[in-house]
Every structure is written in C-alpha cells, then in structure tokens.
Amino acid sequence: MEFNSKLLEELVKTYGPSGNETRICNYIKGQIENYVDEIIIDSLGNLIARKKGNGKKIMIAAHMDQIGLMVTDIDDNGFLRFTNIGGVSPLVSLHQHVIFENGVLGIIAKEPVEDISKLRLSNMYIDIGVKDKKEAESLVNIGDVCVYLPHYCENENTVFTSALDDRIGCYIAIEAIKAIENPINDLYFVFTAQEEVGTRGAKTSAYRIDPDICISIDVTGSGDTPKAKTFAVGLGKGTAIKVKDQSILTHPKLRNIMIEVAKNNNIPYQLEVLEYGGTDSGAVHLTKEGVPSGVISIPTRYVHSTTEMVSKNDVMNSLKLLIKLLEHNIEF
Ligand code: CO
Ligand code: ZN
C-alpha cells in the first residue's frame, strides 16, 4: 500500500472544528460509502459506518473535529475577539492565518504586551482586514468559528501541516475501510464529533453501538525534540501502542493482543505512557458496564500547532497494525 498524499491533504484542508463537522463529515462519507454496508450520522454529528462480520463487535474511533477559534465580539473598528474551541495556545496562535467556513481569511494579532510569556487569548484579536464593524458583520457573526489556515507540506519521509490531530487518524480509518474486504469481525468505524471539547461524540456513539471492544486512533506527542520532557516515543520508531494517558489505562489483554499482532507481522511499535491528554477511548471504556479499549497512537511533534509533524512510516505502520488487528480472530 502506498502513502496516499492526496487523501491526507484533502482531509487536513477540509473545514471541521468541534460542533461544525458537516463539511468534513460529508467529505469522509464520500470517501467510504462504497466500501461499507451501513452508514448513519447521529444527532451529535458522528459519522458511523459499519462493515458487517460475524465476530466481535469492534468500534474504531477517529475524531474528525479539529481545534478552532470562536468569535465572541466584534468591535467598532471590525476587530474580532475570540475564545478557544479545544486546546488553543496563545503563543502558537500569534500571527497565524485563519479561515472561516465561508472562506473569510484573517490573521491573529495581539495588543501591545510587555511580557510575551503573559500573553493570553483575551489580549489577542483576529484582524480580517475590514474598515469597520459594519463591514465585519457582513462577513462574520458572533459564534462563527475559524481554524488555522491549512498549509500542507511533505518531504519523502515526513508530513507537516495543521490538523493532523486527528485527520491522520481519519486517514488511517478510511484506508483500513478500503483495504478490508471480508471482515471477520463486526466493524463499526466512527468518525467522532467534538473530541477536542471533551470526547463528547465518543460518548453517544459508544452508547448506540454497545461494542465488545474499542480501538481509537489518534495522535500522541513525542519525546525526541531538543530538551523535550522525558517520553519514550519518537518519530520514525513505529506505531505507538498506548498504555495510559490521563483518560484511560488501556485494557491489558487487548494491549497484549495488539503487541502480539505487531510482533507477528513485523510491525515496529513503541509503548506509550503519556502523562497528559486523552482520547476517545477514555470515554468509550466507561460506557455501560465498561468496554475493553485500546489506542493506536501516531507519534506527532508540535500537536495543536499549524506545523504538526508525523513520519509517513509511522502512519503506514499504524495502518498496518489496525488492519491486522481487525482481521484477527480476537478472543475475549
Ligand atoms: Co487534539
Ligand atoms: Zn486528537
């Protein structure tokens, strides 16, 4: 299987901040509808696609929402104040380009601040290049959400762009849907909504599906950059099998099956103990009486910035692990 740059570029360039996933949902639906048996969009906006099989009912979750900035106020000169949708850093946001769903462009700027380390989102504004409030109001409304303007770059081994969190997970799920022809397990691929504001879509979709087990696919950090906090995950060293983050201790039996499948198929892997953050499995594993859950993580530098970075080999190894795992006769 080849690395599909076109698919990933289209995924990261399609608008879809938390709560406004319609465009990205429609894009993904178009990619997968010919490869699945059933497809529905639930009331929270989760896209749920089933590939029928007779084995275990497996939920595969990749979140399709991305972080964004929501307009809170428009001043007399047409400058926009904003709040965060998900984890948005002031320093990372400064001087970045943004784009609204209707295509309106802007940049993020700041009031004069003496100590840059004290920069807060409340001292910042979006400049959309208009002359006054009236012109601004003809382009954007209070409550509209913009995202970092996507700029896709890659070299032979690496991709750098915004929104790899978690369009890279969506990419892997889509490629797995296309690759698996005769599923032995009963597969429910869920492109979840509103992960970045607290794994909200994962909660309702897991309740509906009531899976036997769940695998999430999401980015994790990396500990391989200068003076990084100690973290035994790095780019180019393989897919990462999560042991824990702040939302979950992954199920040891499922984790061991994932490790065994990786070993048996010569897939390079790393074990991930993340001391912050969480993902959809954190919500799913607490559904009803509990759902044994694991996570396939993609080692990523600079998460929640405009220049997130992944290794293409790690992505392909994560995809391979997912496919082999789903094709495995899982005894639980
Ligand atoms: Co995130
Ligand atoms: Zn994520």
pLDDT 10s digits, 71-117: 999 999 999 999 999 999 999 999 999 999 999 999 999 999 999 99
Task: State yes or no: pLDDT of 1 exceeds 90.
Answer: no
Task: State yes or no: pLDDT of 331 exceeds 90.
Answer: no
pLDDT category at 221 given cuts 50, 70, 90 is very high
Strands 213-220 and 57-63 come out as parallel
Quote the ligand 2 centre to 82 CA distance (angstroms): 22
Q: Active-site positions? A: 195
Cα angle 265, 171, 33 (rounded to 5 degrees) comes to 105
State mean pLDDT over 252-278.
Answer: 97
Quote the ligand 1 centre to 198 CA distance (angstroms): 10
The ligand whose atoms approach the alpha carbon of 217 most closely is: 2
pLDDT digits (tens, 9 = 90+) for 47-69: 999 999 999 999 999 999 999 99
Read off the pTM: 0.97
Quote the ligand 2 centre to 87 CA distance (angstroms): 10
Secondary structure letter of residue 133 according to DSSP: H
Quote the ligand 1 centre to 61 CA distance (angstroms): 14
Task: State yes or no: pLDDT of 149 exceeds 90.
Answer: yes
pLDDT category at 222 given cuts 50, 70, 90 is very high
- Domains of the chain and any CATH numbers: 5-66+163-326 (3.40.630.10), 68-148 (2.40.30.40)
Strands (E), the chain: 38-41, 47-51, 57-63, 68-74, 80-85, 97-100, 105-110, 124-127, 145-148, 153-154, 158-161, 186-192, 213-220, 239-244, 269-273, 293-299, 308-311
Nearest-angstrom CA–CA distance, 199 and 185: 25
What residues have their beta carbon closer than 5 A to ion ligand 2?
165-166, 218
pLDDT category at 8 given cuts 50, 70, 90 is very high
Q: What is the pLDDT of residue 122?
A: 97
Contacts of residues 101-104 at CB distance under 8 Å and 24 or more positions apart, as own/partner, are 101/15, 101/20, 101/23, 101/144, 101/145, 102/139, 102/140, 104/128, 104/139, 104/140, 104/146
Quote the ligand 2 centre to 138 CA distance (angstroms): 33
